[in-house]
């Protein structure tokens, strides 16, 4: 057994604990990206904001429905900021219409791992949402986060002068 926010005891494999474990894994990997020397400082500032929002999100997932969480979510604002960054980057990088193999450089491969974990966290949150409703803005943020990381990977490869490897 483990505790949710406020001391409510639940099994260790409660879906809220599982979802938070996946978000925590994502958050740790994003922390690794923030200290990698090949990642641009501009991206690192976004990643810092994302990490803080993921922590707030985890506290909301761990708050029982009959309790109030004092932490304010900023997912709407952060989602808009990520979408603006994605639009800016996509306007500057080469269009690529093929599926790409998650490789290219160490940095881009690590970003791809974060992207896949973001997708996994989103799926876990949809499972949580069946029994414990989650703010739709959180769900949108998680969906856009994986897209944001994909665009980050594409920009990373182009900046490094590494061509994406097409899936054959």
pLDDT 10s digits, 57-102: 999 999 998 899 999 999 999 999 999 999 999 999 877 667 887 8
pTM passes above 0.85: yes
Residue 25 vs residues 84, 88, 122: alpha-carbon distances, Å: 26, 28, 13
166, part of any domain:
no
Residue 65 vs residues 19, 42, 127, 129, 134: alpha-carbon distances, Å: 16, 37, 16, 12, 10
| CATH code: domain of residue 59 | 1.20.1200.10
Domains in the chain, number: 1
Nearest to 29 by CA among 119, 94, 99: 119
* Domain interval for residue 89: 2-160
* Block mean pLDDT (10 aa), the chain, length 168: 91 97 98 97 97 97 92 97 97 79 89 97 98 96 97 94 84
168, part of any domain:
no
Give the rounded distance of the alpha carbon of 163 from its chain centre: 24
Per-residue pLDDT, 7? 86
53, part of any domain:
yes
165, part of any domain:
no
């Amino acid at each position: 057994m483990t505790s949710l926010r406020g001391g409510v005891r639940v099994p260790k494999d409660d879906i809220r604990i599982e979802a938070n474990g996946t978000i925590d894994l994502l958050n740790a990997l994003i922390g690794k990206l923030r200290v990698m020397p090949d990642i641009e400082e501009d991206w690192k500032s976004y990643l810092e904001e994302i990490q803080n929002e993921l922590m707030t999100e985890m506290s909301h997932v761990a708050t029982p429905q009959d309790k109030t969480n004092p932490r304010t979510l900023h997912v709407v604002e952060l989602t808009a900021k990520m979408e603006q960054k994605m639009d800016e980057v996509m306007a500057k990088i080469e269009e690529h219409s093929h599926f790409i193999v998650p490789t290219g450089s160490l940095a881009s491969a690590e970003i791809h791992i974060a992207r896949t974990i973001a997708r996994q966290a989103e799926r876990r949150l949809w499972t949580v949402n069946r029994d414990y409703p989650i703010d739709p803005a959180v769900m949108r943020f998680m969906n856009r986060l994986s897209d944001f990381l994909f665009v980050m990977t594409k920009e990373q490869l182009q900046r490094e002068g590494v061509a994406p490897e097409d899936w054959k």
